[in-house]
Chain A
Amino acid sequence: MNTRLLNITSMILLTLALGMGTGCSMDADYSQEASYGNSIPPKNSSEQVSPDQNSAEHAGTDGAADGSTGENEIPDKPEDEVAQFWIQFSTDDSTSMASPQLFKAGQYGGLPHEFVNYYDPPASMFEEETWSIEEDVNEDIRLGLKTTEAQTITRTYPCGEDGSDQGFEVVGEQECTEEKEVVDVLFQMRADAVPQSERRNWNLFFCVDVSGSMTGDNLLYAKRALEKSLDNLKTGDRVTMVTFNSQAVLHFEDLEFTANEETIRNAFDNLEAGGGTDMRRGLNLTYELAQALYNTDHTNRVILFSDGAANVGDTRIAGFEALTRIGGNEGIYLSGVGVGHYYDMERMDALTDAGKGAHVFLPSIEEVD
């Protein structure tokens, strides 16, 4: 019997039973059983089989209904060849980093990976690291890959009576200790910055929440951020601004910077808040304009400023993704700026994921500058 295939089959069945065969949020624990979900066969391997097919082969090897042993149907794997499994990693978009900002503002929780984005390593560290694999993707982008030596570590953790890891939720029941051999993989892909003088012109569409919940500091932060963002623009960039509360309002469209800088600054300065929050209406109008004014020679980007507290109209995120496409293709990315301490991080994260952008957090004037 091919014991390796039998093991694979068992692991797949376990995987399916645990529901771990799909993308896993990193909020989930990697229990021993769950991690065996890795044993799904590779997609381009001659050994690749669907779970159902594999189950059938497993049955065959144990004595199928037709009486065959199955040994002739499943070629044995060469002794010296180690089977592989496929794995895909998502680091999250490189600029998503609201969680550490929330932590700094005193809110406990959030997403650990955004700390790695926020506390960005100095660019020079790529050069200082000893890579096993180092590759120039092109003249702007490089990647590196390495692992550490296998090492044995001992871990003590709070556990339940059955030895299960209780994490941080239950402390003090009893302590368990485990010893295991581990390797750590490091991957980095880095893109060079583009100097302002060399970058393509930008075509920015600001979509600004001016609902009642933005009154006070939130609107102050948003206005300051809008004004400050102009410091990053250069001649030839274009700017459009839509605001929304219960209604969506176009304030100006397709104004060229720097020729219209005063008009743009005045519009920012005159923003006032009040009313409900129909975010969908605001985004719809902004994307209608963004698609109409799409400029293939420019970098087109929608930037949403909001506390995220949508409470009027269509508050669902589902279906929003289609707005960000041009004729079904990728097109106009959305960056989100969460304003104020109590912005709806989950909504902003979901929106910017759908819009293939990143989101940041504005808890204070200091964070703007």
Chain B
Amino acid sequence: MIFGDYFSKLVEVSADQVAIEMMLPEGLALEGFSGEEVSVDPEQRLQNIILAAGDDMTFTARFVVHDEAALDGAASLKVTLRPLSSGEEQIIEIEIDKFSDLIADPGVLFERTQLVSDFAKYATGHNGATRTLEELEADLEALDNPDWGLAEIEGYVSQLQ
């Protein structure tokens, strides 16, 4: 598959120098993250990354709410990137009056990302899955028309039991 349709993702960069930052209300504490690295020190920034054409950067992050007031606190998202179509750095800054304004019902992408991330935790021996292995298996079995990825994962989950 890699040297078929996938190959262009190895070569085609849509944007580089990608950095994803947020300002979040105190009272939230990061507990888990489905990506690679996190920094909480502006003086210790992470290496910028690339976004391939035809590809995505997707992550879920779980925060423990230590202070209910945090849900009413302001937040912001800042994404810096350099689309190679223009070669110019672009900064997207979005202010959010209240963290709770971000609330929306979980959709198919959210559910899928959680399923894949939970499976990955078990497959690699890491903590932090949001459900037990039995729950993961049941949730995968309950899917009506799983895409190829979820169908493949369903096959592997039983091997992890």
Contacts and interface: CB of A to CB of B under 8 A. Distances in A.
Contacts of B107: 125, 128-130
Contacts of A204: 11
Interface in B101-120: 101-110, 112-114, 116-117, 119-120
Interface string A148-167: 11100100000000000101
Contact of A87 (B39, B121, B124): B39
Given A32-B29, A194-B12, 13 more contacts: A22-B39, A25-B37, A81-B73, A86-B42, A91-B34, A116-B34, A116-B35, A121-B58, A123-B54, A128-B108, A129-B109, A138-B90, A188-B109
A46 interface: no
A78 interface: no
Interface string B50-75: 11111111111111110001111111
B114 to A, nearest CB: 7
A8 B40 CA distance: 14
Contacts of A168: 125, 127
Interface in B96-152: 96, 99, 101-110, 112-114, 116-117, 119-121, 123-128, 130, 147, 149-150, 152
Contact of A119 (B32, B57, B83, B116): B116
Given A132-B101, A184-B60, A89 B20 contact: yes
A132 B103 contact: yes
Nearest to B39: A23
Contacts of A26: 33, 35-38
The 9 closest A-B pairs by CB, nearest first: A82-B73, A193-B54, A115-B120, A191-B14, A119-B149, A35-B29, A92-B36, A228-B3, A112-B120
B161 interface: no
A75 B129 CA distance: 42
A231 B7 CA distance: 10
- For chain B, give the interface size range: 35 or more
A30 B150 contact: no
Given A43-B42, A116-B117, A183-B28, A84 B75 contact: yes
A111 B103 contact: no
A357 B50 contact: yes
A148 B110 contact: yes
A43 B8 CA distance: 38
A68 interface: no
A103 B26 contact: no
A191 B4 contact: no
Contact of A183 (B33, B45, B63): B63
Nearest to B19: A88
A183 B26 contact: no
Interface string A165-194: 101100000000000111111111111111
Contact of B60 (A82, A103, A185): A185
B21 to A, nearest CB: 5
Nearest to A362: B2
Given A24-B38, A119-B150, A193-B8, A183 B113 contact: no
A115 B94 CA distance: 29
Interface in A330-365: 330, 333, 335, 337, 353, 356-358, 360, 362
Nearest to B13: A333
A138 B86 contact: yes
Nearest to A359: B10
B1 A112 contact: no
Interface stretch (A139-147, A249-257, A286-294): A139-147
Contact of B7 (A27, A182, A229): A229
Given A90-B38, A360-B2, A185 B102 contact: yes
Given A90-B35, A146-B103, A129 B52 contact: no
